[in-house]
């Protein structure tokens, strides 16, 4: 059996999450669920399915110790539903403890290396991206938001790490790629380990919430943390992985690269609702067949909209699923309901986000000054 490949820069879906766990040593989240007093909908609906060393973060929460939550966004476009998932996880884990600090990297170096966007272009997009995560609930008082290209501590770490890896090691993890992508992977390792530098209070547990296809970055960074632990005292970073959401065409992951079969948090609500109404579904060829055989929620991007983002609660998600697979729910009405939820959410999010643009600008500007010790 071929080993599954994970391409952190691609659009492929993951076919078999259990195999992924077995092949890459990712632990299942389910045994740890009882340790969460109020699990997020990502946890309770099995969207966050795997982890590495999540117990270390839960220990920090229980013992009121400091920890960091670190992730970022490539500022190549507006927030979409895939980036919202990571942002939702960051906001949730920040909310678990007053001792949690979020580090949010605006990955403009990766945007340049992977997408060829200039730093001037991406710095404009960064403001809207940061305003979006603020609107989703990020507490700015416990957040460090920065542009990769301007954060010298990240650059220095990446430079140090570049002496510790060979081309063959990177090729084994990522396959044959441009040097720029290898470099951006080392910079991401710098992002993930920066919260443990003395400027931020020294070594501490760090949780990285990411899509499962980003695991190569986590493996590389954990190797580097071990290699440089003598010099810096790094803890290996912990990670929590979410499932990848289907794009509206149902054949790729929801991503900025497939924007025609996706929508962003900036799309006019009515236009996004229209896209939902013309999405691929797991429905049958005829109403009669659907009543008899039931729909296929497991391959349906409309069901993913409910499950990953827009169902009011877990009971609503289960109801949609059960009604679908039992042939009680028809795709037309199901899409209408989902479109209404999407429309309402986008209108609220955009209003909130527009009111937070000034705060987003200030937060980015703050990172340009020397940070206080945390
Ligand atoms: S009823 Fe809803 S969830 Fe089921 S296949 Fe149709 S659109 Fe998808």
String of DSSP letters for 296-344: -GGG-HHHHIIIIII-SSHHHHHHHHHHHHTT-S-HHHHHHHHHHHHHH
Q: Do domains 17-245 and 256-354 have the same CATH topology?
A: no
Q: Is the pLDDT of residue 10 over 80?
A: no
What is the 328 CA–ligand 1 centroid distance (Å)? Answer: 10
Least confident of 17-26, 30-39, 202-211, 249-258: 249-258
**Of the residues 276, 290, 297, which should be mutated to test ligand 1's pocket, given the most ligand atoms within 8 Å of the CB?**
297
Of 86-95, 108-117, 155-164, 356-365, where does mean pLDDT reach its minimum? Answer: 108-117
Q: Does position 9 have pLDDT exceeding 60, yes or no?
A: no
Q: Residue ranges of the domains in the chain?
A: 17-245, 256-354
Residue 361's φ and ψ, nearest 5 degrees, are -60, -45
- Has residue 135 got a pLDDT over 80? yes
303 ligand 1 Cβ < 6 A: yes
Q: How far is the CA of 39 from the centre of ligand 1 (A)?
A: 26
Is the beta carbon of 224 within 6 A of some atom in ligand 1? no
What mean pLDDT comes out for the span 2-7? 58
The pLDDT-based confidence of 374 (bands split at 50, 70, 90) is very low
Report the residue among 246, 250, 295 best suited for mutation to probe ligand 1: largest number of ligand atoms under 8 A from its CB: 295
Distance, CA of 279 to CA of 297 (rounded, Å): 13
Q: Which CATH architecture has domain 256-354?
A: Orthogonal Bundle (1.10)
- Ligand 1 nearest-atom number relative to CA 320: 3
Per-residue model confidence (pLDDT) at position 290: 96
Lowest mean pLDDT among 117-126, 316-325, 338-347, 353-362: 117-126
Calculate how far, in angstroms, residue 338's C-alpha sits from the geometric centre of ligand 1: 10
Nearest to 357 by CA among 179, 134, 142, 131: 131
Residue 1 pLDDT exceeds 50: no
User: What was the pLDDT predicted at 110?
Assistant: 76
Instruction: Give the closest residue (by CA) to ligand 1 atom 6.
Output: 331
- Domain 17-245 fold: Rossmann fold (3.40.50)
Task: For residue 329, give the ligand 1 atom closest to its CA.
Answer: 1
| pLDDT tens per residue across span 214-268 | 888 999 999 999 999 999 999 999 999 999 888 898 776 666 666 667 889 999 9
Structure tokens at 254: 């929801």
pLDDT given at position 373: 36
pTM, rounded to two decimals: 0.90
Question: Alpha carbon of 291 to those of 282, 327, 331: distances in Å?
Answer: 13, 4, 11
* pLDDT for 155 beyond 80: yes
Residue 248, ligand 1, Cβ within 6 A: no
| Torsion over CA: 288, 342, 75, 42 (sign) | negative
State the chain's mean pLDDT as an integer: 90
CA of 331 to the centre of ligand 1 (A): 5
Per-residue pLDDT, averaged over 342-369, amounts to 93
């Amino acid at each position: 059996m071929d080993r599954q490949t994970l391409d952190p820069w691609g659009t492929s879906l993951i076919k078999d999450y259990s195999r992924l766990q077995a092949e890459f040593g990712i632990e299942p989240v389910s045994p740890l669920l009882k340790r969460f007093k109020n699990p997020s909908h990502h946890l309770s609906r099995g969207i966050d399915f795997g982890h590495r060393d999540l117990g270390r973060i839960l220990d920090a929460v229980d013992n009121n110790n400091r920890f960091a939550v670190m992730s970022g966004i490539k500022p190549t476009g507006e927030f979409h539903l895939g980036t919202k998932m990571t942002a939702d996880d960051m906001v949730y884990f920040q909310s678990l403890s007053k001792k949690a600090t979020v580090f949010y990297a605006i990955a403009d170096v990766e945007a340049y290396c992977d997408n060829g966007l200039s730093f001037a272009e991406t710095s404009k997009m960064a403001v809207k991206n940061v305003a979006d995560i603020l609107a989703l609930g990020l507490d700015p008082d416990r957040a460090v938001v920065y542009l990769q290209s301007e954060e010298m501590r990240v650059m220095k770490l990446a430079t140090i790490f570049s002496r510790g890896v060979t081309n063959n090691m990177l090729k084994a993890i990522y396959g044959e790629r441009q040097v720029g992508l290898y470099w951006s992977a080392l910079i991401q390792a710098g992002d993930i380990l920066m919260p443990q530098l003395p400027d931020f209070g020294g070594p501490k547990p760090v949780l990285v919430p990411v899509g499962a296809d980003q695991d190569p970055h986590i493996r590389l960074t954990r190797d580097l943390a071990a290699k440089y632990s003598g010099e810096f005292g790094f803890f290996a970073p912990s990670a929590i992985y979410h499932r990848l959401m289907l794009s509206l065409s149902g054949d790729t992951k929801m991503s900025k690269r497939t924007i025609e079969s996706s929508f962003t948090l900036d799309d006019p609500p009515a236009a996004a609702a229209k896209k939902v109404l013309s999405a691929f579904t797991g429905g049958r060829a005829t109403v009669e067949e659907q009543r008899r055989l039931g729909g296929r929620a497991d391959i349906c991007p409309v069901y993913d909209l409910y499950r990953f983002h827009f169902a009011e609660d877990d009971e609503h998600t289960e109801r949609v699923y059960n009604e679908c697979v039992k042939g009680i729910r028809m795709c037309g009405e199901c899409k209408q309901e989902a479109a209404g939820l999407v429309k309402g959410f986008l209108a609220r999010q955009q209003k909130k986000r527009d009111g937070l643009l000034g705060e987003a600008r200030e937060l980015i500007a703050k990172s340009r000054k020397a940070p206080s010790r945390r």
